[in-house]
Amino acid sequence: MNNQEIVKWVKLLFLYSMIFLMLREWLMPIMELTDTGHFSLLLAFIVLCLLTNLFNMNAWLSGVIKLLYIIWFMLYVHSQSEQSLLSELTTSVAAVFTGDWQAITNSFKSLLFFILLWMTVYLIHHWLTIRRSILFFFLITVIFLALLDTFTSYDANDSIIRTMIIGMALTGILFAEKTIHDMGMKSSWKNYGLLIVPLVGMLFVSTLFAMSMPKYKASENLPKPLESVVNWANTGMNTTGKIGYVENDDQLGGDFEADDTPILQYMAKNDQYLRIETKSLYTGKGWTRPKGDIFVKTFEYGDEVTTSIKAGPARKRDLLQVEMNKKYDFIMQPYGLEKITKGNAKSNKFYIEMESGKIRPTIKNEKTSLTAYTIQYSSPVYSEKELEESRVAQVERDSGLSKKERKEYLQIPKAMPVRVAQLAQSITEDKKSVYDKANAVVDYFNNGDYKYSRTNVAVPKAGQDYVDQFLFDTKLGYCDNFSTSMVMMMRSIGVPTRWVKGFSEGNRILSDKDDTPTSKSYVVTNNNAHSWVEVYIPNVGWMSFEPTIGFSGFDQVEKESDAGDSVPGNKQKKKQQEQQEAKNKEQQQAQEAKKQQQEKIKEETKKEQKKKEQQAKSSQLSAKTIWIIVGAIAIVVITLFIIFRKKWLPALLIWRYKKQQPSLEKSYEAVLKRLKLIGLTRLDGETLTDFAKRVDAKLQTNDMSQLTTMMEKNLYNPNAEVATWNDFKECWENLINQTRG
């Protein structure tokens, strides 16, 4: 192996490892977002594909190796499944034709995925070796990652940096290679060095330059790129979003699709609303935060935390154990949070954002997410007497709120129509206490005019206010509509109010082992994403209210007299209603559990039945299916024939001409046509000899020149003997074969 060979191999090895890393960037989000396993085995497959391409292995051999790998993978991974691999595949294929997407098995999906990978690697190999340009793939990768980062939960921050580095390296090397190839230079270390060293130098200098430039700090405050597009996509087009917690509430409204993906499970004495954060600045379309810095306080495990919500008495103290199914970089807070006692990660510090009350766990000042933690809390209890004594006028004098906070929590957009305030006034004017006024607003939503729905919910048009639209026009909506409207109504009568986001209590898990009198298990799904209201009651403090109809709300008010035996009493009517609801709910849950059990018992028989049904179905459809399959195969075969016409057409031509033994002119014409197909066209002013030289240089033969000399003699020498088939058949056949590529 000479020096040039070594350079070639080092270069190829480098290029292919870069490609591998780039493909890995593709695979990672796919794995994460689709919950696919066996990442390393898939990577191994990519390596296998790349290696066969790298060593230019025979197409048949490499195909067989890859197929064997795929079969091994499917046997290995899907070995637990009851059906045999073959039958799974056949049912899947049948399912594809009947459009029964649910019935497609995982093994079939894996097979398709492998084929996709195979094709991708082949395509990239083509880009690398033939086109010597990878920019397109690079660009697609960046766009792919950017889109994923923007529209999905995948965090592509690091990934995009890695991709940029890999992409730069690839394009750089390929550019060097292209230059060396085009200039006809030798591919030696020196030449590569000459081209690559300045490239690296330039990269280094520009990196230094970029690093020395001033940068935005605290990316928290900056809107994510494309965020407006995301919002537009989610709301502006009135598309159906998936329900769940999102940080951004700039644009409220629009439909939500139910999503029962579990978010977390918690164990506590009672069900708990889980609070995440509050927001104070209403824009007329949604909620945002005021400009300015975010002030934070830090605390550690076991520290007493002071939140804006007063914790309840010691007798209410309890532990809340949270187990997260989804990673969130903040803590779910029960009302009356006192301290976080432990968590699964060795989080050094927690940050509590003063403005929103959001608590973020951190490790070494980097955001992290805890997957399990325990919180000590004590549900707040409010005295009815104190509540009844609160007056709007006291807000001004109350020292519990700073002037700035008061202003913030009384903010109303200027464009808010007057009728909202008028409505609030009319609802609450006959109530004296702030507490009663708040309850009056809650009750107003229960007057029958308003309906709870997650579908057909309007998005405010330009110039329209979200609250006004809901209160007067649509009267149909979900928690955001109710809670935002209540905040605005309360604010319009001069009561500081804020908007709270989090999860409602979730569903009880009825299982024998976890259930104890002192702690019950609940599961919270995306469906439980919720928003409600906290009203500042003068001299009492923040108190939560549930304006959305159909939700249980809070159980937090005690009459002075029965404070001792801890019988809670909100407004009597509401309490009854709540209890009724709670009962209903429990019954429902119990029924569901029963149902589930019944289902479990019946599972086996059902499965059998299903199988039978499927078999029956497939036999019914068999005739049709066979036709479809035959048709599909025919289409595939025809497509393949068309795609590979370059391969088989020449063979056909040679066979035909050998039989016919046509004239030189006709044969030459055929060659010209074939050459045109592979991109070699004679120009008008080009003589045949010049063209032949060009063709021979490209195909690295001299057949074309030989044939052309004969052809020219034939054309331009009237006295010459006409060449016969036997004279030129050899050159001609070689040429036609050359055009196969």
What residue ranges bind other proteins (CB under 8 A)?
665, 682-690, 712-713, 715-720
For 268, the 3-state DSSP assignment is: strand
Nearer to other proteins, 281 or 715 (CB): 715
Closest contact distance (angstroms) between CB of 672 and other proteins is: 9
The DSSP bridge pattern shows strands 520-525 and 262-268 to be antiparallel
**Angle, vertex CA 162, rays to CA 28 and CA 139, nearest 5:** 85
Q: How far apart are CA 423 and CA 473, in angstroms?
A: 14
The DSSP H or E segment spanning 635 is: helix 572-643
Selection from 444, 457, 541 nearest residue 488 by Cα? 444
Q: How far apart are CA 291 and CA 289, in angstroms?
A: 6
Nearer to other proteins, 34 or 719 (CB): 719
Closest contact distance (angstroms) between CB of 164 and other proteins is: 45
Selection from 319, 245, 306, 300 nearest residue 275 by Cα? 245
Nearer to other proteins, 293 or 721 (CB): 721
Q: What is the CA radius of gyration of the chain?
A: 36
Closest contact distance (angstroms) between CB of 684 and other proteins is: 4
Closest contact distance (angstroms) between CB of 713 and other proteins is: 7
Nearer to other proteins, 700 or 717 (CB): 717
Nearer to other proteins, 8 or 713 (CB): 713
Closest contact distance (angstroms) between CB of 692 and other proteins is: 10
Write b or e for each residue in 618-646: b if 16 or more Cβ atoms lie within 10 A of its Cβ, otherwise e: eeeeeeebeeeeeeeeeeeeeeeeeeeee
For 324, the 3-state DSSP assignment is: strand
Beta strands in 74-141 (DSSP E): none
Closest contact distance (angstroms) between CB of 237 and other proteins is: 55
Nearer to other proteins, 448 or 685 (CB): 685
> Three-state secondary structure along 503-561?
ECCCEECCCCCCCECCEEEEEEEHHHEEEEEEEEECCCEEEEECCCCCCCCCCCEECCH
468 close to 420: Cβ distance less than 8 angstroms = yes
Virtual torsion, Cα 455, 456, 460, 464, nearest 10 deg: -140
Nearer to other proteins, 457 or 688 (CB): 688
Nearer to other proteins, 557 or 688 (CB): 688
Closest contact distance (angstroms) between CB of 664 and other proteins is: 11
Closest contact distance (angstroms) between CB of 681 and other proteins is: 13
Closest contact distance (angstroms) between CB of 691 and other proteins is: 9
Nearer to other proteins, 182 or 721 (CB): 721
Q: How far apart are CA 293 and CA 295, in angstroms?
A: 6
Nearer to other proteins, 212 or 719 (CB): 719
Nearer to other proteins, 332 or 664 (CB): 664
Burial of 374 (0-12, 13-18, 19+ CB in 10 A): middle
Tokens 């490209």, residue located: 698
Closest contact distance (angstroms) between CB of 66 and other proteins is: 48
Closest contact distance (angstroms) between CB of 685 and other proteins is: 4
Cβ partners under 8 Å of residue 667, min gap 6? 657, 725, 728, 732
363 close to 513: Cβ distance less than 8 angstroms = no
Nearer to other proteins, 405 or 712 (CB): 712
Selection from 222, 272, 198 nearest residue 552 by Cα? 272
Closest contact distance (angstroms) between CB of 716 and other proteins is: 5
For 361, the 3-state DSSP assignment is: strand
510 close to 590: Cβ distance less than 8 angstroms = yes
